A and B are shown apart, each in its own frame.
Chain A
């Protein structure tokens, strides 16, 4: 079991996906990014099942960017599943969403989110947020080596 350099982006909105990828590119974050479109697909990818059954089973992303409002399983449910599984419970999960509702923020931290970032309307601000995420979680932050 090892950690690859992949960032898993769980995002159902194509525009947001494109803009997020753009923000990563422009901030020179070179990690491979896997995009999944709903909660179920996210868990399928992580646990190598369904359409991702062929994926190498013991490889996990270095960072998960998770939207809350998702088709099928919502972000909170995905987060719960991640935190409940021995293999994935230590992966940093950053909630990246439009909602600034107190309930959503509290629920996310309750379920073990590492960070909660609200997507601003102003794309310049969004770019700045992504830059900080990359700097902090991919460069500064020390994580336990996974077995």
Chain B
């Protein structure tokens, strides 16, 4: 009691001296204006304090009585200054723990959430306590700062960051199934909005039922399928009620729309505090991201299915082709064997007739038998050439590097020994190296050079030349002769099997040779064409693929 009254008394005395010193005591009017100035200063200071948005209180160190406070303090407590001044601070606090803690520590700063203060709306407060002493007495000054708005702003930043993290995670689940993505999205939304649980319903294509998923913050699962009825909360959303917070803030419903119609609904329940606009916006945003991810996943799935189907079709088609190919092989084998056998009999017995009965046969009969033999032999040649053509079509090319010049020289040597002729001039360019199938190219050159030889028969002088022109990318080879040539009108027919531009009497042949050459050239990725004029010889130009292509194929074959 003494401790409490002593400072009170002194205080009064001091105050009295102050007033007496300038007023009554002195009775000197000269002090009066001075007094007014001081009073004005005091009021001005009070005004400043009241304008500050910090709650400031002076509390007696010994009895915890609020000695004075400013307007902001009144606002924070929701009370008038009269209600506060002279009462103890504890009587206004729900929880005075912070006060005793800081008092004991001789000061400090703490952030308190209401209801530490009995304020009206939930606030966040930063409370600082300082010990001061003046006039020989100790006081506590509390400074309270309302940081609710600041905290809301920083919370928004944190939650927005969390939302983007969730959205990013959602859009980076490359191997997850649609169900995984949906449950993950629901769980993220539940966590982000601090809900107790959430339910997600995906509308089926025929809009007859929802596929539902449930998440309780910790775990998520597909919970089933529910038919779309008439009057449930989701059905009301289906017909366009939009996103809403319902049931006094403990439920939030969010439709996800695609092209104007609702494709899914997320419902969230029981946040510790009512849902706010930020919750709604963020959940909506996640919902939109989710749907984009789902659409992308569906498109990818479709593409994967299509690819699988395509692969399946290709392998089926390949198998069919393999069967067709083997049938064709069996067929050509059969042709090769069975078609030739009777021809041999025809030829053989015709010869036998000529040999055994030739003398008793009339000359005409012998002539007919010779024609029979010639025809059967010609048919044998036709079969032979056809077989070669089909064999080349089936065969894979095997590239090796060799000299085209040497090969051509060998072929010319063969031809000139089997069909010798005088006055021949053959020019073959040196050093023409190629990467090609040697056996096939031999067949092609035998045909081209053989043709040049054949169609120059009867010329005074046979001139054949084999050259190359290289532009650095695709070497072009040419084989030219000074023979019979042909009319360019028929050039297109040249490379078709059985098309002949000359009669068999004039120049014998089956008409399959150039078709075979063309097929060989094409198999090598090259092209062939001819230039000619009747009586002025012919030139065949061909390529065997570009240098690049050849390089690649070579690697491919060896690898």
Contact = CB atoms under 8 A, between A and B. Distances in A.
Contacts of A119: 340, 344
Contact of A122 (B345, B347, B355): B347
A99 B336 contact: yes
Nearest to A124: B351
Interface string B328-366: 000001001110111111011111100100000000000
A120 B341 CA distance: 9
Interface string A6-29: 000000010110010010001000
Given A13-B341, A16-B341, A22-B352, A121 B347 contact: yes
B197 to A, nearest CB: 73
Contacts of A122: 347, 373, 377, 380
Most chain B CB inside 10 Å of its own CB: which residue of A15, A19, A100, A122: A122
A110 interface: no
Most chain A CB inside 10 Å of its own CB: which residue of B341, B350, B373, B379: B341
Contacts of A124: 351
Contacts of B387: 100
Contact of B337 (A26, A69, A120, A121): A69
Contacts, number: 59
A124 B337 CA distance: 19
A98 B340 contact: yes
A131 to B, nearest CB: 14
Nearest to B345: A15
A136 interface: no
Contacts of A22: 348, 352
A61 B231 CA distance: 102
A13 B376 CA distance: 18
B348 A19 contact: yes
A100 to B, nearest CB: 7
B344 A16 contact: yes
A126 interface: yes
Contacts of B380: 120-122
Given A22-B352, A121-B376, A121-B380, A16 B337 contact: no
Interface of A: 13, 15-16, 19, 22, 26, 69, 97-101, 119-124, 126
Query: Can you list the 9 inter-chain pairs with the closest CB atoms, starting with the nearest?
Result: A121-B380, A15-B345, A123-B348, A19-B348, A123-B351, A98-B337, A121-B343, A123-B347, A98-B340
29 contacts: A15-B342, A15-B344, A15-B345, A15-B348, A15-B349, A16-B345, A19-B344, A19-B345, A19-B352, A22-B348, A26-B355, A69-B337, A98-B340, A99-B333, A99-B337, A100-B336, A101-B336, A121-B343, A121-B344, A121-B347, A121-B376, A121-B379, A121-B380, A122-B347, A123-B348, A123-B350, A123-B351, A123-B373, A124-B351
Interface of B: 333, 336-338, 340-345, 347-352, 355, 373, 376-377, 379-380, 387
